[in-house]
Structure 1
Amino acid sequence: MNRNARNHKKTDDQNVQGLRKVSFWEKYGAKRFPYRGRRRYSPFVYRSEDGGIVISNDVFGLTIRQFERTYNACLDRRKTHEQYILNIRYPDKTSDKYMEYLENSRYNNTDNLSWTRSDLKVKLLFENLVHIAGNEIDMRKRQQLFIIKDMITNISESGITNISSGSLAEGIDLPGSDMDIMFVIKEVDIIRDVRNIKHPLQNTTLVMETDNDNPGFAKLKLIEGGDGRFITPESFNSSVQGLYLSVNQFVSNLNNFLPNQFSLHGPCISDEVKNVDLAYCLRSKYLPYSTMPWASRYRQQWPPNSAIDKIKKCGCLLVPIGPRHMTYCDELWRLSFSVAEKHLVHSFNFTQLLCYCLLKLTLKRIVNTNKRVEDLLCSYFLKTALFWVSEEIDIETFQLTKLFVCFSKCLDKLLLWVQKCYCPNYFIPEHNMFLGKVNSDNNIILLKILNVIKCDGIDRLTNQIFPYNVGSLRSRRTSEYSSSMIDFLFYRIDYLDIVSDMSHCLKALMFTEYLIKSKYSAFIIDVCKQYHASISQYAAQLLHVPSRSITTETYNIHKRYHKHLQDGIKTDSVSGWLLYASFYYVTGQFDVTLRLTDYVLSRCSPDMLTIGCPNYSDEDLNNYRSHVHHSMTLRDRSRNATVCRVKYHQNSSLIPRELRLEVKGGVQMIPPTVMSHCLRFLCYHHLGDISNRQQSLHDLNRENQNYDFNITV
């Protein structure tokens, strides 16, 4: 059979569309095309109706099919090991690279998730959780927000290091979440072995002696010093072994450093409405020897090695509180791994974070509704259970479609612990955290409640935690809603405690400028710009008192004032302008001051959002959203929809001379309407306008009553 003749005949044929078939030889000038398959025909290239190319014969077809099989197998492997691959590529999930991946990844859009018919119940649970807790980008933004705040706050060389802790700093913002801050005292160095001492010693030096009878606690023995701001010679108990730092004496000394609105509750400090919890503590740069097995013990893929390395470098904290089950333990300090736990939560994937939220909501809305067990469990125990489960099972188990499976494994872990009355600390398993809480006398009822949650399944759990149908929610969690909630979190924590020193302010300004240029997320860049504006308000008040006479020297000083004040007006709609009004008042330009206060009063409408409130209502949210839209930057939203109390610092150059006795003891925060009427009263007094002065005094008294704010004029 003449195959070449038959092949040549095909090339002379016309197809039905009138297009001539182009052979491989003709198109590419190839004389030979070796192919060992059964069909030795030359391949042909056809033009399709849509202008594409069709290849006849299976010379290429076999290769394409092989490629498709290999490619699909690669995709299947990648999907199967997705979380493992992400942990390798992005070990730090608070990094800019991971945020860029989230914002550019189509998989981050939860609407595109493929749910099977059997996953519909998990989908309902997932949608309810996302509506309350937010999507992964929301959680990562919260984590980055607190990281940035701590970095800027700690740029000054004060005696305290601020560390944001608790669920908010971990990215979890659930109803009722408060803010926890650890104040680490820098004047004390803690070592775990006298061989770690480096001479000469600069600070008070203590050696950490772990207690074998009380794992998770340590004694602090004095090696050198002992006479500082927070720790005095009276802070130590004397024994045969040496001088040991007293817990009770250390806590009692803290009363000398508390702000007026804070009070001491045991080892912690709370504000009047208990929305902020502060804890003074000490830091050891070294992990105790009892944690050494944690770093090297067998585990699955979590936590990643990078997180373990970070934790080994960050050391631990020591908090002035002893074992709960001991009535008197004046020398035992609790080992706290708050910083390490924050690193661990930051390495969680989205499913782990949602599982953490689900555990916390289960505790609050189911377990703690029973008065007999409401104080037995705490969210820290639940987080510890999640740590253990995450370490013991394959990371690929933590898929969104397996959310309830992950929750059930954590619940099983809790059931086992409650049954044994033993909750092992994640870093020191010998430390039973149930001591003084869960015991054989009260664990029976708790076991019943947890077993009921387990047996009722996902339907009952969803109905109890979310007593509504996600489809009937008045508004799904849109991107605009998520943006507003992130804004509100920033407004709640928008306060920087910068030391009143110009060099520290300039250092902080330079650092925020560096962050603005280096960060990827548009929201985080806007946050840095807001902090830059707030620090500029600090800096303006630390300049020399402006003079009313104009010389070359005063001109340069005024130029610096205008630079910082112009940057400072970008924080919100009024506080920066009030500082500007104070500047013009101090320099004797009363007419300009009156015009600026007119503007400030015109912006202080009741529907404006006040920055710095511990909580915001649905009405606040609706008013805020009516002033802003999604295309605005955070700076524009702040200037359009928020007001902030004006902050005068002690010895500020912008304080009116008549009010300097009122601003003492740190920072005086004055409502903008109160300060506006006060400045107007003073201006009219100097201008000799008696009628307007009396009217301003009347308005000032009215505003003082509204804010319950007293100021002597």
Structure 2
Amino acid sequence: MGSFRTLEMIVIQNISEAVFVGLCRKMGTSKIVAMRRDVMDINEMVNNHIFTSEEGSTMVSGSEREGFRLKGSDWDIMCWPNNHRVIWELSQSQYYNTHRQTLILCDYSDSPPGFTLLYLLSPTMDEDIQRACVRRYNRNYISSSIYRQIICNVSKNHSIQHGPCASGTILTYEFDLAACFVSDFWPTSASSWIDRCHSWPLPYVVDGILKNGCHFVAIGHKLGRHEDHEWRISFSLAEQKLVYSMNHSQFLTYGLLKLFLTEMINNGVGDGDKLLCSYHMKTSVFWVIQQNTIPHWCPQNLLVCFWVCFKLILKWVYDGVCPNFFIPENNMFLSKIHGDKQHQLFIRLYGMYEKGLAFLLQCPSFRTYNIDVLHNPRLSICTDENTLIPEIDFDQKLYHEMQRNNMIRKLDIQRCMKYLHTIEQMIGSPLVTQYQVLKLQELTANVLQQTAFILYMETYTHLNKMSYRVGKMSCYMLKIAAKFGFITDMMYIAMYYYNTLRYIEALSIIGMIKVNLAQPYVMYGYNVDTEMYTEAVGGQSWSTKMRQAVAGDIILNNKIHYINELIPEQQSALQNSFFSLCIPSYILLDMLEILCYRHVDTMSAQTALDNLQALVHNDQGQSIPEIHRNISWQILGICQQVTGNLQAALYSYQQSLRQISFHKIQTATEMRIQGICQFNPSGI
């Protein structure tokens, strides 16, 4: 009996280790997760430092910010005005200059735990807030439902209301935008949480959480007396810091619960019938860690950790009570999980519980991790994270993360200078990590490129000494940027030379870029020759790798004109609140070569056009990701049109319309098709 028990423990530990390894590969090692967080943190820190109090701050929260990159994960974005602050007591007003900041006072005397009413202590100049006010008891209360609706109507992309958020799409990512208010003070109703923090989180984490206060999102309690006007207290920033403070086994337990929720509990269930959500999973992990139920969170214990959290969720469903981690009196099941729905959910979960850990074998992700262990119970599994992800795989994830977090908010010359000054201050800070230094270098290149073209737009019509000096300055900035960024960042120099009619110089730069891109070790996205890359730049700094061996897409800010031939596409995208065009480097390179050769060598222009056509027609995703096929067909059509082949151009534009509508350029495509048909109606 004892030996059987020992074998059973060995099997459970081995399966736990196999799951740990599988989750590391699916969700990232602790090093990869830390890198993702660092890149997002520094990007947000720089952006929020630049903008004035009137423009407000933003924060990415939820799974993306926590370090997950799971398929279907939304971006949760919170935004709030910096010139409005929420206080809990009138005495806290002494910390503010009321001439510069509008104060809002909480009134939670008649609201359920975790919710409050907000009323203005003084008039506000913000028109949206003014329109959201309702008069009660001779006070101006800010109605959450009215404010939420106003924010949803601000942009076409934000028109779908989802809970307290406006939902839409940025690039390929679905997002939920929550308009909030912020308080610099910890909620009075959450003071008991401080007293519970004996062993977790550590004191410095608790202090950081308390100093950052909380937020208020625009949604009331469904069973509250003032649902339309109440605001929910949000602890998103505190939760982010708690997740950051987890060890990797705790983080992966949370990840396993998220997978289990998606693949088992909510599989086949309609959105309206999904009673449990990821937030409940996270809350269970918080409670289990703080109550010290599990003494050892480690790879060998991963299934035990999962099982303890699952049993806690099962108990919550049975009791109909899920206590909020910060305000336990706030029962998060109260308005959703009760009656027949509660009973049916408990029956389902208890059926899984009765099967024991074996029911996890039905979870697709879990099944792929432990198949070898099931056939060989005594199989030895290495859980050393340093051996799980090869150097090149980490590099791919790092550069992918940098490029997916390169959104810079609206720029003008003054803000460009602020960006560069802020980056200069941050890059020398001892608190900045190695990943953040790399991201700051890439941001520097990005800002310099946009500054150069903004200066060009403002002076190109003036043929005087000043425009000559600005031109030299712009060109110098682009050359400096090329030393910080990816090897494809030289493309901005070529675009600038083309705009200033220096076609031979542009072609010289294009030739250099072609030579660099032709190297067998170049990494583009996830396409790379592993051996050649490792041989060429393995072991070197990430900055060196980025400059010498990594190609990126070219991002064009749609409010800046880079190439006249692409202005209609940029304007079409802007009309749909799409603020940038992302173009595959190989496509833009061929386009620039065609446009330049048109002025110096028509035969070479035709050769370049043939190359572009072959690339667009035949590429299998190596140089043109699927989401970029519409802009690629569009650019082929533009090049065919400017060289006089209208029939081919019409076909390319029609193909562009058939692709995934990623760049929102349909209006430009239809306009170009109409122009061709009007120009030559009988020949098309």
| TM-score under structure 2 length normalisation | 0.75
Q: Does 1:361 align with 2:259?
A: yes
Q: What CA distance in whole angstroms lies between the structure 1 residues aligned with 2:215 and 2:497?
A: 48
Indicate the residue corresponding to 1:269 in structure 2.
Answer: 167
| Preserved CA contact (<8 Å) 1:585 1:656 | no
Q: What CA distance in whole angstroms lies between the structure 1 residues aligned with 2:309 and 2:88?
A: 34
SS at match of 1:557: helix
Q: Does 1:124 align with 2:23?
A: no
Q: Structure 2 residue aligned with 1:647, among 556, 571, 589? A: 556
SS at match of 1:277: strand
- Quote how far apart the aligned CAs of 1:286 are: 1.7
Q: What CA distance in whole angstroms lies between the structure 2 residues aligned with 1:553 and 1:492?
A: 35
Specify the code of the residue in structure 2 equivalent to 1:338: S
Number of residues of Structure 1 aligned to a counterpart in Structure 2 = 584
Indicate the residue corresponding to 1:171 in structure 2.
Answer: 67
1:324-349 C-alpha deviation (Å, 9 max, x unpaired):
45697221111111001001111111
Q: What CA distance in whole angstroms lies between the structure 1 residues aligned with 2:444 and 2:361?
A: 44
Q: What CA distance in whole angstroms lies between the structure 2 residues aligned with 1:337 and 1:491?
A: 27
1:336-394 C-alpha deviation (Å, 9 max, x unpaired):
11001001111111221121112111111221126389601001011111111111116
Indicate the residue corresponding to 2:379 in structure 1.
Answer: none
- Quote how far apart the aligned CAs of 1:316 are: 0.9
Q: Structure 2 residue aligned with 1:533, among 445, 461, 466? A: 445
Choose between structure 1 and 2: higher helix proportion. Answer: 2
Q: Structure 2 residue aligned with 1:146, among 19, 34, 40? A: 40
Sequence identity percentage: 23
Q: What CA distance in whole angstroms lies between the structure 1 residues aligned with 2:400 and 2:640?
A: 41
Indicate the residue corresponding to 1:202 in structure 2.
Answer: 100
Please give the root-mean-square deviation of Cα atoms over the aligned residues, in Å: 3.9
Indicate the residue corresponding to 2:30 in structure 1.
Answer: 136
| Preserved CA contact (<8 Å) 1:324 1:435 | no
Distance 1:610 1:648, change over 3 A: farther
Higher RCO (C-alpha under 8 Å, 6+ residues apart): 2
Q: Structure 2 residue aligned with 1:284, among 169, 183, 192? A: 183
Matching of residues 93-492 of structure 1 within 5 Å: 119-158=13-52, 159-197=55-93, 198-228=96-126, 230-231=128-129, 233-255=130-152, 257-258=154-155, 261-266=157-162, 267-271=165-169, 275-296=174-195, 298-325=196-223, 329-369=227-267, 371=269, 375-393=274-292, 396-462=295-361, 464=363, 465-470=365-370, 477-480=388-391, 482-484=393-395, 486-487=397-398, 489-491=400-402
Matching of residues 631-642 of structure 1 within 5 Å: 631=539, 633-635=541-543, 636-637=545-546, 640-642=549-551
Q: What CA distance in whole angstroms lies between the structure 2 residues aligned with 1:503 and 1:228?
A: 24
Distance 1:164 1:505, change over 3 A: same
Q: What CA distance in whole angstroms lies between the structure 2 residues aligned with 1:554 and 1:455?
A: 77
- Quote how far apart the aligned CAs of 1:223 are: 1.7
Indicate the residue corresponding to 1:77 in structure 2.
Answer: none
Q: Structure 1 residues 131-140 or 303-312, which shifts more? A: 131-140
Q: What CA distance in whole angstroms lies between the structure 2 residues aligned with 1:621 and 1:193?
A: 53
| Preserved CA contact (<8 Å) 1:218 1:335 | yes
Q: What CA distance in whole angstroms lies between the structure 1 residues aligned with 2:547 and 2:335?
A: 47
| Preserved CA contact (<8 Å) 1:355 1:406 | yes
Specify the code of the residue in structure 2 equivalent to 1:506: M
Specify the code of the residue in structure 2 equivalent to 1:196: Q
Q: What CA distance in whole angstroms lies between the structure 1 residues aligned with 2:652 and 2:435?
A: 35
| Preserved CA contact (<8 Å) 2:555 2:582 | yes
Q: What CA distance in whole angstroms lies between the structure 2 residues aligned with 1:644 and 1:147?
A: 22
Q: Mind listing any 5+ residue stretches in structure 1 that lack a counterpart? A: 1-114, 612-619
Q: What CA distance in whole angstroms lies between the structure 1 residues aligned with 2:651 and 2:426?
A: 43
Specify the code of the residue in structure 2 equivalent to 1:245: I
Distance 1:568 1:704, change over 3 A: farther
- Quote how far apart the aligned CAs of 1:201 are: 2.8
Q: What CA distance in whole angstroms lies between the structure 1 residues aligned with 2:550 and 2:124?
A: 50
Distance 1:411 1:118, change over 3 A: closer
Indicate the residue corresponding to 1:103 in structure 2.
Answer: none
Distance 1:682 1:548, change over 3 A: farther
Specify the code of the residue in structure 1 equivalent to 2:336: K
Rg larger in structure = 1
Q: Structure 1 residues 493-502 or 636-645, which shifts more? A: 636-645
Q: Mind listing any 5+ residue stretches in structure 2 that lack a counterpart? A: 1-8, 374-381, 607-638, 658-664, 673-684
Q: What CA distance in whole angstroms lies between the structure 2 residues aligned with 1:610 and 1:234?
A: 52
Specify the code of the residue in structure 2 equivalent to 1:467: R
- Quote how far apart the aligned CAs of 1:651 are: 5.4
Indicate the residue corresponding to 2:495 in structure 1.
Answer: 582
